[in-house]
Amino acid sequence: MDYRETYKQWCTDTFFDEATRAELSALTDENEIKDRFYKDLEFGTGGLRGVIGAGTNRMNLYTVGRATQGLADYIIAKGGQNKGVAIAYDSRHMSPEFSEAAALCLAANGIKAYRFESLRPTPELSFALRTLGCIAGIVVTASHNPPQYNGYKVYWEDGAQVTAPYDKEIIEKANSTPFTAIKTMDRSEAEKAGLFVTIGKDIDDKYMEALKKQILNADLDREYGKKLKIVYSPFHGTGNVPVRRILSEIGFENVYVVPEQELPDGDFTTLDYPNPEDKKAFKLALELAKEKDADLVLATDPDADRLGVYAKDSKTGEYMCFTGNMSGMLICEYILSQRKERGLLKDDSALISTIVSTNMAEKIANYYGLKFIEVLTGFKYIGEQIKIFEQTGKGTYEFGFEESYGCLVGTHARDKDAVVAVMMLCEAAAYYASKNMTLWDQMIAMYEKYGYFKEGLYTMTIPGVDGAEKIAAIMDKLRKDAPKELGGLKVVKSRDYAEGYNGLPKSNVLYFDLEDDAWFCVRPSGTEPKIKFYAGIKGSSMEDADSLLNKLLKGLEQLA
């Protein structure tokens, strides 16, 4: 069936609700019709993510129902239907509706759904499903994507997003499920049958207690929590309540929330792009920081798994921006230094990073005598390593992070957690304040200790029907005609992860080692119509690092 026939079916078949049929019948742009129906919105390794709207290539109640029915069939086939599924959702448009539809589909299949009463962070979903002993978890979120998007991610019983072999098996089930096979039931009937259970405060309280177990200097939190000033923005998302609660409970008294971005807003009215990687998103927070003379400026993305950071430079008084690599390494150094001082590091302690993150991580691991493990891009692979440690009894997780502003302190969750990251970063600020240092001062000290590592990212967005073909063509060209040098640096060696490397799953990623500890890496995004070019260098000073990275990034733009 071609896209036109599928479109006509959706317009006329009474299986689809009246609002859906009316929305589609009103379309006049042929390109819009084609984009909505030229393919199914596939359930991939990152779940579903797409623009909200009617059509097979959109996020709607039918595509969500189809994915959930496939997941339910898989759970039943595995004999896990008695364990239940936890469900959370964020502040985006249709998130409550999608999460309820998923819960009712599961209930209709005889699987108990534990759904949060209101929006919650993604990491709390990971914590909840482990706490409740569920077979799986669902979170409805599009993370930091623009407001027209929503998404649907699946977690397995270890608390991490699904990995092999479950990911491919669930994907196959979901993508082969016809819309007409979707089961559902009335909510009141599901609640009476004990198949739709609302969760909230009890899990919140347990989550807070789990975070507090990571505290290393409680006395300093209380002492400097009275002095340090913190500006925070939840970017209209799920972080507002848990972030403010944890900081208040451990002693940070001067937390100023950006009022315009405090409350949930699916339109993200004050933001072009609700992403802590975007400097423009910090405009209001930085204005408030200057007004309050704040020491720290923090922001979490809508589902509160990523953290953005600015800290004051004590010499200039300016607020300095931290990349995800920088804030991750700052938290890492603080934790490892304190745990080493207390004799808490073990012979099998490990630091886990992704292949596109900073090479400073390996330097830090070596300094503290930790095993250094690199995994593919995606925090689920870090979560998978924690599971392997538990199953084999070999390896102690100390810290894991990725360059895209996500890290995990502790093993209460198996995904990146910006709530615990905020807590630990504020504690680090208190500790370094006791040494008369700001976080920026400490960052400079780390550069002097390990080297001036700096990383950058160049991204091309190619939406629409032709986007995937163009991205594939770029990857194919790089495989056939790899560059010999870039940004004035020679390529020393390269590796193609599609062929498998170092025991990692095969992945469409190309990595190039350059001379002088530099590198670049190319991969298509798994959730958006983008191709990403990552780069990293090691300079002799901040200025040298900036110069080297700029040359390398200009070279990457020419590759595309």
DSSP states of 105-131 as a string?
HHHHTT--EEEESS---HHHHHHHHHH
Higher pLDDT, 466 or 259: 259
pLDDT-based confidence at residue 42 (cuts at 50, 70, 90): confident
Residue 126 CB-density burial (10 A; 0-12 exposed, 13-18 middle, 19+ buried): buried
pLDDT-based confidence at residue 157 (cuts at 50, 70, 90): very high
What is the reported pLDDT for 218? 98
What is the reported pLDDT for 127? 98
Name residue 489's amino acid.
L
DSSP states of 234-278 as a string?
-TTSTTHHHHHHHHHHHT--EEEE-GGGSS--TT-TT-SS--TT-
- pLDDT of 96 higher than 70: yes
Residue 117 CB-density burial (10 A; 0-12 exposed, 13-18 middle, 19+ buried): exposed
CA-based torsion, 417, 121, 144, 113: positive or negative: positive
Reply yes or no on whether 143 is catalytic: yes
In SS3 terms, 432-445 reads as: HHCCCCCHHHHHHH
The answer to whether 397 touches 411, Cβ cutoff 8 Å, is yes
Name residue 113's amino acid.
A
Considering 143, 327, 404, 507, which one is annotated as catalytic? 143
The answer to whether 407 touches 189, Cβ cutoff 8 Å, is no
pLDDT (average), residues 142-146: 90
**Distances, alpha carbon 131 to alpha carbons 87, 209, 302, 393, 397, in Å:** 13, 12, 23, 21, 19
Residue 342 CB-density burial (10 A; 0-12 exposed, 13-18 middle, 19+ buried): exposed
- 208-450, which class in CATH? alpha beta
What is the reported pLDDT for 465? 66
Single pTM value for the model: 0.95
How many C-beta atoms surround the C-beta of residue 188 within 10 A?
Answer: 9
- pLDDT of 146 higher than 80: yes
Helices marked H in 434-503:
439-450, 467-480
Q: Is 541 helix (H, G, I), strand (E, B) or coil?
A: coil
List pLDDT tens digits, range 463-512. Answer: 776 788 899 999 999 999 999 999 999 999 999 999 989 999 999 999 99
The answer to whether 375 touches 384, Cβ cutoff 8 Å, is yes
Mean pLDDT of the chain: 96
**Distances, alpha carbon 427 to alpha carbons 26, 257, 335, 444, 492, in Å:** 55, 18, 10, 18, 41
Indicate where the chain has its CATH 3.40.120.10 domain(s): 39-199, 208-450
- pLDDT of 527 higher than 70: no
Higher pLDDT, 168 or 266: 266
Residue 393 CB-density burial (10 A; 0-12 exposed, 13-18 middle, 19+ buried): exposed
pLDDT-based confidence at residue 560 (cuts at 50, 70, 90): confident
**Distances, alpha carbon 219 to alpha carbons 83, 249, 344, 409, 431, in Å:** 41, 13, 19, 19, 10
What is the reported pLDDT for 79? 96
The encoded tokens of residue 477 equal: 């060209």
What is the reported pLDDT for 133? 98
The answer to whether 62 touches 19, Cβ cutoff 8 Å, is no
**Distances, alpha carbon 370 to alpha carbons 326, 327, 393, in Å:** 19, 19, 16
pLDDT (average), residues 357-371: 98
Contact partners, residue 119, CB within 8 Å, separation at least 6: 88, 89, 90, 91, 95, 237, 238, 264
Of 44-58, 119-133, 195-209, 235-249, minimum mean pLDDT range: 44-58
Cα(372)–Cα(336) distance, rounded to whole angstroms?
13
Q: Is 153 helix (H, G, I), strand (E, B) or coil?
A: strand
Distance, CA of 275 to chain centre: 11
Stated as kind and residue range, the H or E segment containing 408 is strand 406-408
Q: Which single residue is written with the structure tokens 């998130």?
A: 95
What is the reported pLDDT for 44? 76
Considering the domain 452-559 in this protein, what is its CATH number? 3.30.310.50
Q: Is 371 helix (H, G, I), strand (E, B) or coil?
A: strand
- Give per-residue burial for 4-23: e unless 16+ CB within 10 Å, then b: eebbeebbeeeebeeebbeb
Helices marked H in 239-378:
240-250, 283-292, 324-341, 360-367
- 39-199, which class in CATH? alpha beta
List pLDDT tens digits, range 100-120. Answer: 999 999 999 999 999 999 999
List pLDDT tens digits, range 290-342. Answer: 999 999 999 999 999 999 999 999 899 999 999 999 999 999 999 999 999 99
First to last CA, the chain: 35
Indicate where the chain has its CATH 3.30.310.50 domain(s): 452-559
The answer to whether 429 touches 330, Cβ cutoff 8 Å, is no
The answer to whether 152 touches 102, Cβ cutoff 8 Å, is yes
Phi, psi angles (nearest 5°) of residue 414: -125, 30
List pLDDT tens digits, range 400-443. Answer: 999 999 999 999 999 999 999 999 999 999 999 999 999 999 99
User: How many residues comprise the chain?
Assistant: 560
What is the reported pLDDT for 439? 97
Q: Which single residue is written with the structure tokens 């500006």?
A: 231
pLDDT-based confidence at residue 1 (cuts at 50, 70, 90): confident
